[in-house]
Protein backbone atom coordinates (compact mmCIF):
# COMPACT_ATOMS: atom_id res chain seq x y z
CA UNK A 1 0.00 0.00 0.00
CA UNK A 2 2.82 2.39 0.90
CA UNK A 3 4.69 1.65 -2.35
CA UNK A 4 1.48 2.14 -4.35
CA UNK A 5 0.88 5.50 -2.68
CA UNK A 6 4.49 6.55 -3.34
CA UNK A 7 4.04 5.69 -7.03
CA UNK A 8 0.84 7.73 -7.24
CA UNK A 9 2.48 10.73 -5.58
CA UNK A 10 5.28 10.48 -8.14
CA UNK A 11 2.73 11.33 -10.84
CA UNK A 12 3.08 14.96 -9.72
CA UNK A 13 6.51 14.94 -11.41
CA UNK A 14 4.87 14.88 -14.85
CA UNK A 15 1.96 17.15 -14.00
CA UNK A 16 1.43 20.11 -16.31
CA UNK A 17 0.14 23.02 -14.21
CA UNK A 18 -3.18 24.46 -15.25
CA UNK A 19 -5.97 26.48 -13.68
CA UNK A 20 -7.15 24.74 -10.51
CA UNK A 21 -10.39 22.90 -11.22
CA UNK A 22 -10.07 23.28 -15.00
CA UNK A 23 -11.44 19.78 -15.62
CA UNK A 24 -14.83 21.00 -14.46
CA UNK A 25 -14.73 24.23 -16.50
CA UNK A 26 -16.27 24.83 -19.91
CA UNK A 27 -13.54 25.75 -22.40
CA UNK A 28 -14.01 28.16 -25.30
CA UNK A 29 -11.83 29.62 -28.05
CA UNK A 30 -12.19 32.87 -29.96
CA UNK A 31 -10.41 34.54 -32.84
CA UNK A 32 -9.59 38.25 -32.83
CA UNK A 33 -9.72 38.81 -36.61
CA UNK A 34 -7.52 41.46 -38.21
CA UNK A 35 -8.14 42.69 -41.73
CA UNK A 36 -6.58 45.33 -44.00
CA UNK A 37 -8.98 47.92 -45.42
CA UNK A 38 -7.63 50.72 -47.62
CA UNK A 39 -4.08 50.32 -46.24
CA UNK A 40 -5.40 50.54 -42.67
CA UNK A 41 -5.64 47.71 -40.15
CA UNK A 42 -9.06 46.95 -38.68
CA UNK A 43 -10.52 44.43 -36.26
CA UNK A 44 -13.67 42.55 -37.27
CA UNK A 45 -16.46 42.31 -34.70
CA UNK A 46 -19.69 40.35 -34.81
CA UNK A 47 -23.12 41.22 -33.48
CA UNK A 48 -24.78 38.06 -32.23
CA UNK A 49 -28.11 37.10 -33.76
CA UNK A 50 -31.14 38.27 -31.79
CA UNK A 51 -32.72 34.82 -31.65
CA UNK A 52 -29.79 33.21 -29.82
CA UNK A 53 -30.46 32.01 -26.28
CA UNK A 54 -27.20 33.33 -24.84
CA UNK A 55 -26.23 37.01 -25.13
CA UNK A 56 -28.45 37.90 -28.10
CA UNK A 57 -27.51 41.12 -29.87
CA UNK A 58 -24.19 41.50 -28.06
CA UNK A 59 -20.91 42.29 -29.78
CA UNK A 60 -18.24 39.62 -29.78
CA UNK A 61 -15.43 37.91 -31.67
CA UNK A 62 -15.99 34.67 -33.60
CA UNK A 63 -15.75 31.79 -31.16
CA UNK A 64 -17.37 28.98 -29.28
CA UNK A 65 -16.97 25.86 -27.20
CA UNK A 66 -13.97 23.57 -27.58
CA UNK A 67 -15.03 20.02 -28.34
CA UNK A 68 -13.36 18.08 -25.53
CA UNK A 69 -11.19 15.22 -26.70
CA UNK A 70 -11.70 16.18 -30.34
CA UNK A 71 -9.80 19.42 -30.85
CA UNK A 72 -7.40 21.82 -29.19
CA UNK A 73 -8.02 25.50 -28.52
CA UNK A 74 -6.37 26.70 -31.74
CA UNK A 75 -8.34 24.28 -33.90
CA UNK A 76 -11.56 25.36 -32.20
CA UNK A 77 -10.84 29.05 -32.79
CA UNK A 78 -10.26 28.44 -36.50
CA UNK A 79 -13.31 26.20 -36.81
CA UNK A 80 -15.63 28.69 -35.12
CA UNK A 81 -14.32 31.56 -37.24
CA UNK A 82 -14.88 29.65 -40.48
CA UNK A 83 -18.40 28.64 -39.42
CA UNK A 84 -19.50 32.10 -38.27
CA UNK A 85 -17.84 34.20 -40.96
CA UNK A 86 -18.37 31.56 -43.65
CA UNK A 87 -14.77 31.64 -44.79
CA UNK A 88 -12.18 28.86 -45.12
CA UNK A 89 -9.16 28.11 -42.95
CA UNK A 90 -7.03 29.13 -45.94
CA UNK A 91 -8.50 32.62 -45.51
CA UNK A 92 -7.00 32.84 -41.98
CA UNK A 93 -3.33 33.52 -41.29
CA UNK A 94 -2.90 32.79 -37.60
CA UNK A 95 -0.63 35.20 -35.68
CA UNK A 96 -0.67 33.58 -32.24
CA UNK A 97 -2.40 33.30 -28.86
CA UNK A 98 -3.19 35.91 -26.23
CA UNK A 99 -3.36 35.15 -22.50
CA UNK A 100 -6.30 32.92 -21.68
CA UNK A 101 -9.09 34.15 -19.42
CA UNK A 102 -10.85 32.49 -16.51
CA UNK A 103 -14.34 33.91 -16.10
CA UNK A 104 -16.49 34.11 -12.98
CA UNK A 105 -18.84 31.55 -14.55
CA UNK A 106 -16.28 28.72 -14.43
CA UNK A 107 -15.24 29.09 -18.06
CA UNK A 108 -11.79 29.28 -19.65
CA UNK A 109 -11.48 31.31 -22.85
CA UNK A 110 -8.52 30.95 -25.20
CA UNK A 111 -8.12 33.95 -27.56
CA UNK A 112 -6.09 33.86 -30.77
CA UNK A 113 -5.16 36.63 -33.20
CA UNK A 114 -5.28 36.05 -36.94
CA UNK A 115 -5.29 37.90 -40.24
CA UNK A 116 -8.29 37.48 -42.52
CA UNK A 117 -6.90 37.20 -46.05
CA UNK A 118 -10.13 38.19 -47.76
CA UNK A 119 -11.89 41.37 -48.78
CA UNK A 120 -14.28 42.52 -46.07
CA UNK A 121 -17.05 43.06 -48.62
CA UNK A 122 -16.76 39.39 -49.61
CA UNK A 123 -17.45 38.10 -46.08
CA UNK A 124 -21.05 36.95 -45.61
CA UNK A 125 -21.54 35.81 -42.00
CA UNK A 126 -23.78 32.93 -40.98
CA UNK A 127 -27.22 34.46 -40.17
CA UNK A 128 -27.99 31.59 -37.79
CA UNK A 129 -25.37 33.01 -35.41
CA UNK A 130 -24.48 36.52 -36.59
CA UNK A 131 -26.79 39.42 -37.40
CA UNK A 132 -24.04 41.69 -38.74
CA UNK A 133 -20.31 42.28 -38.81
CA UNK A 134 -18.42 45.56 -38.68
CA UNK A 135 -14.84 46.75 -38.29
CA UNK A 136 -13.03 49.21 -36.05
CA UNK A 137 -9.63 50.68 -37.00
CA UNK A 138 -6.84 49.55 -34.68
CA UNK A 139 -5.47 53.10 -34.76
CA UNK A 140 -8.75 54.38 -33.28
CA UNK A 141 -8.65 51.81 -30.49
CA UNK A 142 -5.02 52.53 -29.65
CA UNK A 143 -5.87 56.19 -29.24
CA UNK A 144 -9.07 55.63 -27.27
CA UNK A 145 -8.99 54.92 -23.55
CA UNK A 146 -11.76 52.55 -22.53
CA UNK A 147 -14.22 53.54 -19.86
CA UNK A 148 -13.67 51.31 -16.83
CA UNK A 149 -16.24 50.54 -14.17
CA UNK A 150 -16.07 48.28 -11.14
CA UNK A 151 -18.46 45.41 -10.55
CA UNK A 152 -18.68 44.45 -6.87
CA UNK A 153 -19.65 40.95 -5.81
CA UNK A 154 -21.65 40.27 -2.67
CA UNK A 155 -20.74 37.16 -0.68
CA UNK A 156 -23.83 35.32 0.50
CA UNK A 157 -23.15 31.85 1.98
CA UNK A 158 -26.05 29.42 1.69
CA UNK A 159 -28.38 28.95 4.64
CA UNK A 160 -26.72 25.77 5.92
CA UNK A 161 -23.17 27.10 5.59
CA UNK A 162 -21.02 25.58 8.43
CA UNK A 163 -19.98 28.81 10.17
CA UNK A 164 -18.91 26.76 13.21
CA UNK A 165 -16.04 25.30 11.15
CA UNK A 166 -14.37 28.63 10.31
CA UNK A 167 -12.69 31.27 12.50
CA UNK A 168 -15.08 33.97 13.80
CA UNK A 169 -18.12 32.11 12.46
CA UNK A 170 -20.75 34.47 11.04
CA UNK A 171 -18.41 37.39 11.76
CA UNK A 172 -15.74 36.03 9.42
CA UNK A 173 -14.07 38.88 7.55
CA UNK A 174 -14.76 37.93 3.94
CA UNK A 175 -12.43 39.52 1.41
CA UNK A 176 -14.31 41.92 -0.91
CA UNK A 177 -14.32 40.90 -4.56
CA UNK A 178 -14.69 43.08 -7.61
CA UNK A 179 -13.99 43.03 -11.33
CA UNK A 180 -13.12 45.70 -13.86
CA UNK A 181 -15.57 46.08 -16.73
CA UNK A 182 -14.22 47.73 -19.89
CA UNK A 183 -16.30 49.68 -22.42
CA UNK A 184 -15.15 50.76 -25.89
CA UNK A 185 -17.58 52.91 -27.90
CA UNK A 186 -17.27 53.30 -31.66
CA UNK A 187 -19.97 55.14 -33.57
CA UNK A 188 -23.20 53.41 -32.46
CA UNK A 189 -21.48 50.23 -31.26
CA UNK A 190 -20.61 49.35 -27.66
CA UNK A 191 -17.94 46.72 -27.03
CA UNK A 192 -17.88 45.47 -23.47
CA UNK A 193 -17.68 42.34 -21.31
CA UNK A 194 -15.21 39.58 -22.06
CA UNK A 195 -14.79 40.85 -25.64
CA UNK A 196 -13.60 44.23 -24.36
CA UNK A 197 -11.20 42.55 -21.91
CA UNK A 198 -9.65 40.47 -24.69
CA UNK A 199 -9.49 43.55 -26.91
CA UNK A 200 -7.75 45.47 -24.12
CA UNK A 201 -5.24 42.64 -23.68
CA UNK A 202 -4.45 42.72 -27.41
CA UNK A 203 -4.05 46.51 -27.48
CA UNK A 204 -1.73 46.43 -24.46
CA UNK A 205 0.39 43.82 -26.22
CA UNK A 206 0.90 45.97 -29.30
CA UNK A 207 1.04 49.40 -27.65
pLDDT tens-place string over residues 91-113 = 999 999 999 988 767 789 999 99
The predicted structure's pLDDT at residue 172: 94
CATH of 20-205, one of 3.40.630.10, 3.30.230.70, 3.90.79.10, 3.40.50.1820: 3.90.79.10
Residue 113 CB coordination number (10 Å) = 20
Say how far apart CA 61 and CA 111 lie, in whole Å. Answer: 9
Residues 63, 73 contacting (CB under 8 angstroms): no
The predicted structure's pLDDT at residue 15: 79
Which residues of the chain carry a pLDDT beneath 50?
none
The predicted structure's pLDDT at residue 1: 64
Whether this prediction's pTM lies above 0.85 is answered by yes
CA distances (Å), origin 14, targets 8, 11, 78, 137, 143: 11, 6, 30, 45, 45
Q: Domain spans of the chain?
A: 20-205
The predicted structure's pLDDT at residue 34: 98
C-alpha torsion sign, points 133, 144, 140, 32: negative
The predicted structure's pLDDT at residue 31: 98
Amino acid sequence: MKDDLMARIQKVTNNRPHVLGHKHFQSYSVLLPLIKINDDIHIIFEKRAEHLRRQPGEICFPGGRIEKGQEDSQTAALREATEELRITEEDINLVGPLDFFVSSSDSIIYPFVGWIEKEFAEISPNPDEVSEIFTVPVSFLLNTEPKIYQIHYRIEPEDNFPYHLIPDGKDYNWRPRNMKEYFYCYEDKVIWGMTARMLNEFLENIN
